[in-house]
Amino acid sequence: MSPSPDAGRELSWRGIILGALITLVFTASNVYLGLKIGLTFASSIPATVISMVVLRALGRSTILENNMVQTQASAAGTLSCVFAAVPALVLVGYWQSFPFWQTMLISAAGGMTGVLFTIPLRRALVTQSALPYPEGVACAEILRASSPEGDARSVRALATGGILAALMTFCSSGLRLFSDGFGASFSLGSAVFRFQSGYSLALLGTGYLVGIGGGIAMLLGVVVGWGAAVPWLTAITPNSAHLAPTAFATSLWLHKVRFLGAGTIAVAAIWTLFTLLGPVARGLKEALSVTHRASGSPLDQDLPPRVILGLGVLLAAILTVLFVLFLWPVVPHDSGLIVAVALGIAACSLLGFLVASACGYMAGIIGSSSSPISGISIIAIILICTAMLGLESFHLLPEAFSADQQRIAIAFSLFVLTALTASAAISNDNLQDLKTGQLVGASPWKQEVALLIGCLVGAVVIPPILNILYQAYGFVGALPHPGMDPARALAAPQPALMAAISQGILLHQLDWEMILIGAGLGIILIVADRLLRFQQLALPPLAVGMGIYLPADVSVTIAIGSVVGWILTRRYPASAPKEDSTGTMIASGFIVGESLMGVALAAISGFSGHTDMLAISMLPESVTTLLGALAFLGIIGWFIRRVGQNPT
């Protein structure tokens, strides 16, 4: 799609300021939610709607200016994912608070490397790829619907889907009248089986946009995880804590099976990068080519090569200084310090690019909201700590690293992980934004500038937010003041997991069995996928790994959406998901409505300090589960009927 005639305003000062203001709210909300319950909301769609409303009120807004605001704000909101790593430094007792400059710079530098990594990946994973990018498509549909050229029928379809999803989310997550999913467990001997599904319309819409291949692959992952691995583990593992069967199965999935999924994701990610080497190399060559920039289309131009190289050198220098300053007070100033810093830089560059590629590909399959960033962080911390063990065995790292139960080594690995997590999160979100830009005719290099600004603004907000939350609530296992109520402490589940993994590896206490089994499974899936392609079929190994790693209700609901799309396409070929079809608009509306209502409920939780502030239901769980199922199935039936009546 080419820009509209009035689309001259794109990257403007008022847009940058508006994006910064939206950033303050979204970053604070995401950090709070992430530390409290381990989940965040995708900020692209809410930022798009807020930008549309504000800029329209200011006058003379364009679709491209709206797109730039959401690009900047979504980057900053996504950068808040560093909550999964940096609080671990407090949990292991290395930091007593979050120093502003160190926290800000490691977040900003890590996020900006993610922007640089997306430049060659843009051509490989967006321009020259058929990946669906469900949230990127949804953002584009909002922008198009808000433009003067927007089709009234498309606007109605988008709005209808959005209203239904918002009401469903409000009744389930707000009022608690509906359950947000259901689960059933049963035992065969000592083996426990569990089936789960969710009632999320956003995930239903994501599955519709993803397609049958990705949905079935994720469903296969659920079968492997909950139909095979969990029953096997519950049958052979003693239930020493005397947990109920469901709680016992969930505990084993959380602490064992997810590592199986992480091993599968790791191998599949490496294979994915290998298959992308050609397109990525061409993309990198074109991004750094002055000739290509001079002769190429304005809508396919990245930042100038000198800017890319200069920024890359600057970010490497900033990271080097940060790593040196982190170790300087506690490590002798000798060759060991140089090796440790070199390890950190290598991790942020080589491993960082691998992580960015994997996250970008996963975002293309299922969207940013459902991408398992924590799974990628697990892989990263395992590789960093394993490399440290290898260097320690050759006595290349300072002796101070191995002293006091590997305290410094653990802390340094978590500090490096913070940069990698920021890079992964930004890459995961940025490619969605670049897909949106491609669909509405934006200039890639201007989007990349907005992304860099978003990283910087978000990084400024993160340290004070972390300090405020830590001083007010504390974390489970780390309370800053005596006499604080442990019941009000933030759970910080991901930082606690990262701290436990780094300690487990460096202290030789980590169980590698499930990770290695997952890696073997990844190899088998790669071979199966290659064989299936001879029959014009596919089984994406990365999607199977995500199905094992993600909660079952997420994967099953996405699979349901993909099956609904397949049924509609078989019955009504004209309904096949296209950019402006009725099905795509309603599915996008599902994602939009649930996202916006999620932001509103998150804001209420943040201001009140309670996650159940609006809950009014006194109904039994069985009744709320039934009501949620009836509403969910009813909306699916309406969706099929509506698309069947107006497929195009």
Would you state the pLDDT for residue 607?
65
Would you state the pLDDT for residue 100?
92
Distance in angstroms (rounded) separating the CA atoms of residues 499 and 486: 20
Pick from 275, 414, 411, 416: nearest CA to 344: 416
What mean pLDDT comes out for the span 164-175? 87
Taken in order 187, 188, 192, 196, is the CA torsion positive or negative?
Answer: negative
The pLDDT tens digits for 94-124 are 888 899 999 999 999 998 998 888 887 787 7
Taken in order 145, 147, 151, 156, is the CA torsion positive or negative?
Answer: positive
pLDDT greater at residue 5 or residue 417: 417
Distance in angstroms (rounded) separating the CA atoms of residues 439 and 206: 18
Taken in order 90, 93, 99, 101, is the CA torsion positive or negative?
Answer: negative
In 348-481, at which residue ranges do the beta strands (DSSP E only) sit? none
Least confident of 304-318, 403-417, 429-443, 447-461: 429-443
What mean pLDDT comes out for the span 166-187? 85
Least confident of 194-198, 421-425, 604-608: 604-608
pLDDT greater at residue 598 or residue 227: 227
Q: Show the tokens assigned to 248.
A: 């016992």
Would you state the pLDDT for residue 7?
46
Would you state the pLDDT for residue 595?
66
From residue 431, alpha-carbon distances to 122, 254, 592 in Å are: 7, 29, 18
Confidence band (pLDDT; 50, 70, 90) for 167? very high
Confidence band (pLDDT; 50, 70, 90) for 125? confident
Contact 51, 131 (CB under 8 A): no
The pLDDT tens digits for 557-593 are 989 998 998 888 888 766 555 555 778 778 877 877 7
Would you state the pLDDT for residue 4?
42
Confidence band (pLDDT; 50, 70, 90) for 366? low
Contact 183, 566 (CB under 8 A): no
What mean pLDDT comes out for the span 70-74? 77
Confidence band (pLDDT; 50, 70, 90) for 6? very low
Residue 631 has pLDDT above 90, yes or no: yes
Would you state the pLDDT for residue 333?
75
Q: Show the tokens assigned to 270.
A: 């490496």
Helix (H, G, I), strand (E, B) or coil at 196: strand
Pick from 228, 252, 223: nearest CA to 544: 223
Residue 344 has pLDDT above 80, yes or no: yes
What mean pLDDT comes out for the span 255-275? 82
What mean pLDDT comes out for the span 464-485? 78
Residue 41 has pLDDT above 90, yes or no: no
From residue 242, alpha-carbon distances to 236, 237, 258 in Å are: 15, 12, 22
What mean pLDDT comes out for the span 507-520? 86
What mean pLDDT comes out for the span 618-644? 89
Cα torsion at 561, 564, 569, 574 (round to 10°)? Answer: -80
Least confident of 241-250, 282-291, 365-374, 619-628: 282-291
Residue 5 has pLDDT above 50, yes or no: no
Residue 634 has pLDDT above 90, yes or no: yes
Q: pTM of this prediction?
A: 0.75
What mean pLDDT comes out for the span 312-339? 88
From residue 168, alpha-carbon distances to 203, 456, 593, 597 in Å are: 13, 36, 9, 9
Would you state the pLDDT for residue 1?
39
